[in-house]
Structure 1
Amino acid sequence: MITTALPVSEGLKVLASPIRLSSPEKVMSPFSSLSRSLVAELSQCIGHRVKLQGFVEAIRDQKRMRFIVLRDPTGKVQLTQSKDNTALTGALDALTPESAVIVIGTVVAAPSVKLGGLEILIESVEICGLADPQLPIAYDSGPDKWMDHRQVSLRYPGQQLVFAVQTTLEAAMRAFWQQNGFCEIHSPKLMGTASESGAEVFAVKYFDTKAFLAQSPQFYKQMAIAGGMERVFEIGPVFRAEPSFTSRHETEFTSIDMEMGWIEDHHELMAFEERWLAHAIGTVVEVHGPQIEALYGVSIAPPSLPFPKVTFSESLAILARLGHVPARHDDLDAEGERLLCEHIAAGTDHEFVFITDYPASGRAFYHMRHEDRPDLTKGFDLLWRGLEITTGAQREHRHNRLVAQAQERGMRLDSLSDYLDFFRFGCPPHGGMGVGLGRILMRLLNAASIREVTLLSRTPKRLRP
């Protein structure tokens, strides 16, 4: 353990009763003789000595007493120190908010204390990391400042909860995939060709040639299906060189991807996703529901099934009645997505809605077309409270049609040769989707910006820390 290097006279490590042992080799600190207790466990420890580890949230000095609020990942507790102990007083005089400390003391009942009705009478303290007196940010500084000083803002209880929820969410997703026969893959993020349309990619020097950061694991998911894996998923980083500064976009973000072989059509994909999401959200509600409501004021519940489905052409008609015309004829804009969700929620009491059968002109070349309407794809988006969280489709698995659809877009076949080769030797009907992890967290916690639920934000103007 590293302790702050201050003179011994300043008492950074002070024991109420000095230890006297004859052999230096056998000296043992009382800080190592006790196992750690968590704040959430203290109600079961009244009358006992405990060791706590955490950050100092607040310090309040009085003439004869000092009160300290200690915070660990499970909660906060009041520490109380009598200034009659001059050595301990000298040590704690150096203490600053957000310092990392180890404290040993006795748990006593204190009904008048708002933090759990108990307090810790300090016996000894070790200041492991002394914080600068002037903190760089405050709780109300906002996401941009939080990102500048992430080592401090990550300590806020709401931010701690973000990543606890993320962990539970991903574990529940993986459990559902495993129950349904999926294998996890890890695809490369350096690619010889762009993984989507070829636009908005980051090019990087790669020895004596050029590589691209993957926009999606799309091609490799399909390669796995062609390789007979049948059902695969991946959670990993993807990169989009979009000059976008909205609250929902990042240049690097975590994408949740899955692909399923031997499907009938895109409706099978949507049916799977809604069951998968209902399971994952239900698990988050079970584990974190009360904390989310306490810290974020959001009451969440597992969604009911099935989700409403509206074709793209129907969505345009609804928006026209609401007085809104999207900027593009083959895709929805953010305002259109918001209005559609409000309209669907008012009529069905559902927060989710699938938008299906998008025009081919607005979708990737590899999306399968309807046999009787080649201008429409078997593609869909999933919206949650006005935010697109998923894009999916049945893929075109027939080599000759893929070639034709690529040529229709004016794409160079030589640059797609590796991808097209995946389908030359037989490939089953398949499809899948990409889901934004950050966007799901935004909706779970009702966050205004994706940066509030991202460990370290990456935007066109942010590459640090």
Structure 2
Amino acid sequence: MIHPIERTMVADLREHTDRTVTVAGWVHTLRLQSTMQFVLVRDHSGIVQVTHRKADDELTALLDGLTSESAVRITGRVVANPVVKLGGLELIPESVEVLNRATAPLPIDEHSGPEPRLDWRFLDLRRRPAAQLLFAVQTTFEAGMREYAYGAGCTELHTPKLMGTASESGAEVFELGYFGGKAYLAQSPQFYKQMAIAGGIDRVFEIGPVFRAEPSFTSRHATEFTGVDVELAWTTDVEEVQRFEEEMIAHALGRVAERHGAAIREEFGVEVTVPSLPFPRITMAEAHQVLREKLGWDPEGTKVDLDPEGERALSAHMREQTGHEFVFVTHYPAEIRPFYHARPAGRPDLTLSFDLLWKGLEVTTGAQREHRYEVLVEQAAEKGMRTEPLTDYLNCFRYGCPPHGGFGMGLGRMLMVLLGLGSLRDAVFLFRGPNRLTP
């Protein structure tokens, strides 16, 4: 019977001082001197120095033949040595197994630019502790949101990503062949979330892929990203949706601060703060007034959406006024919002909708939905939309669909702001954009 080799993580080596252990990881750096061999070995928990005095033996030859990033398994004795900067410990090797020798030289190094790093993303992730931390934070943040959503009575769904018609009006879509016909990649799970509400599922939650065929080359856009979507039934006002979202975000950030706050501070220089509730609110009309009169923002038109400059300026103003990093911008003009957004009584020019800005970046969009069939048809016609392609969607509202509202969040954007990253490319595992479909 073959017994598996017990592996000890580098972070746990101090518990094994003066004992023989086996570590497995990658060669981080090599210093091969005339009499001594120093090899730094890295696993996901840390780095240990392997120290060996040269001799005319197989072990010396094995260490001499190593290359940076080779995968190795090393068995040796853990020895305390205060001279060693890496935790005051070193590993005196007894045996070395080269599991996969890395080709030299490596295709990227610490001086490589963003595109080469994306080309060799697996090496980039492996070599940078900050990248490893990113995904640990992502896992905790998602778990925190799920924890809150489950506690609030949400049912998690997985909606189709292949659709027979575009899921949002006016946005670019990816079209593909489908058994002699056409299909589209879902721009959001919006219609399916609402279908679930009509199906009697009171609260819906999903984390899944979203596709946008927008030729955008900014630091905050991607053609495929992970969306966090929530839909709540029986809401009487959009304020209930905003309250759900701010509580969910605060809960998830609390989990991140508890588990990773110190590591984020060390690796990214960012202090994770749990926001106070409620988040500040400002209407779109008020935001325009503040931006024009106090901050000199002057885009064309009075009903345009906020541009990145406007978002940053408004967030800075609100932080100065309230001390808060988050702000809900509410009541967007109907002409720049989808047909299914509900409108306040007596104000057909406005919508019961919102965007959430965090440190100057839009991270979510939400609204109270219009749940009345006749009004939906009228609002679709107002935007010049044909109702025939929307038949399946509109049918959900003909047979007693309750009032409801919800929001969609970009997970990558949340992580980008949370960790102070300069680009969405650094906040995802494998980036997809207009010029990138690899690796």
The 1-side partners of 2:345 and 2:56 are apart by: 85
1:251-330 paired onto structure 2 within 5 Å:
251-320=223-292, 321-327=294-300, 329-330=303-304
Query: Which residue does 1:115 correspond to in 2?
Result: 86
Matched with 1:92 is 63
- Given the superposition, is the C-alpha separation of residues 33 and 399 from structure 1 closer, same or farther in structure 2, using an over 3 Å criterion? closer
Match of 1:210 among 182, 190, 194: 182
Q: Does the alignment pair 1:69 with 2:69?
A: no
Which whole-Å CA distance do the structure 1 matches of 2:310 and 2:43 have between them?
A: 43
Contact 2:27 2:71 in 1 (8 A): yes
| 2:287–2:329 CA contact under 8 A, matched in 1 | yes
Correspondences of 1:92-171 after superposition (within 5 Å):
92-155=63-126, 156-171=128-143
TM-score (norm 1): 0.92
Give 1:241 deviation, angstroms.
0.6
Q: 1:203 to 1:33 in 2, by over 3 A?
A: closer
Paired residue secondary structure (2:231)? strand
Shift, 1:254, TM fit: 0.5
SS in structure 2 at match of 1:91: helix
Q: 1:12 is matched with which residue?
A: none
Instruction: Tell me whether 1:454 sits opposite 2:428 in the alignment.
Output: yes
Distance 1:442 1:141 in 2: 21
AA matched with 1:342: A
Three-state SS of the structure 2 residue aligned to 1:168 is: helix
Deviation (angstroms), 1:64: 1.2
Distance 1:453 1:327 in 2: 33
The whole-number CA distance in structure 1 between the counterparts of 2:46 and 2:113 is: 22
One-letter amino acid matched to 1:439: R
406, 413, 416: which one aligns with 1:439: 413
Maintained 8 Å contact 2:32/2:64: no
Distance (Å, rounded) in 1 between the aligned partners of 2:413 and 2:300: 23
- Give the CA deviation at 1:84: 2.1
Contact map agreement 1:254 1:438 (CA 8 A) in 2? yes
Q: Which amino acid is the alignment partner of residue 251 of structure 1? A: T
CA distance in 2, matches of 1:101, 1:259: 49
Q: CA deviation at 1:131?
A: 0.7
Shift of 1:164: 0.8
Alpha-carbon distance in 1 for matches of 2:141, 2:115: 25
Deviation, structure 1 residue 327: 4.8
1:60 to 12, 21, 31: 31
Q: Which runs of 5+ in 1 are unaligned?
A: 1-25
Q: Is the 8 A contact 1:176 1:276 kept in 2?
A: yes
CA–CA distance in 2 between the matches of 1:315 and 1:416? 34
Comparing 77-86 and 49-58, the one that deviates more: 77-86
Secondary structure of the corresponding residue to residue 307 of structure 1: coil
Q: Which amino acid aligns with 2:397?
A: F
Aligned residues: 436
Question: Secondary structure, in 3 states, of the residue corresponding to 1:366?
Answer: coil
Q: Match of 2:414, as an amino acid?
A: I
Identity level (%): 56
Please give the alpha-carbon distance, in whole angstroms, between the structure 2 residues aligned to 1:262 and 1:222.
Answer: 12
Task: Please give the secondary structure, in 2, of the residue aligned with 1:457.
Answer: coil
- In structure 2, the partner of 1:173 is 145
1:233 counterpart = 2:205? yes
Kept in 1, the 8 Å contact 2:163–2:186? The answer is: yes
RMSD across aligned positions (CA): 1.2
2:324 equivalent in structure 1 = 350
Q: Is the 8 A contact 1:330 1:361 kept in 2?
A: no
Within 5 Å, which residues of 2 pair with 1:386-465?
A: 386-465=360-439
Cα deviations by residue, 1:181-205 (Å, 9 ceiling, x for unpaired): 0001111111000000153001000
Q: Decide whether the 8 Å contact of 2:73 with 2:99 is kept in 1.
A: yes
Alignment-mate amino acid for residue 16 of structure 2: C
After TM superposition, the score normalised by the length of structure 2 is: 0.97
Letter aligned with residue 245 of structure 2: E
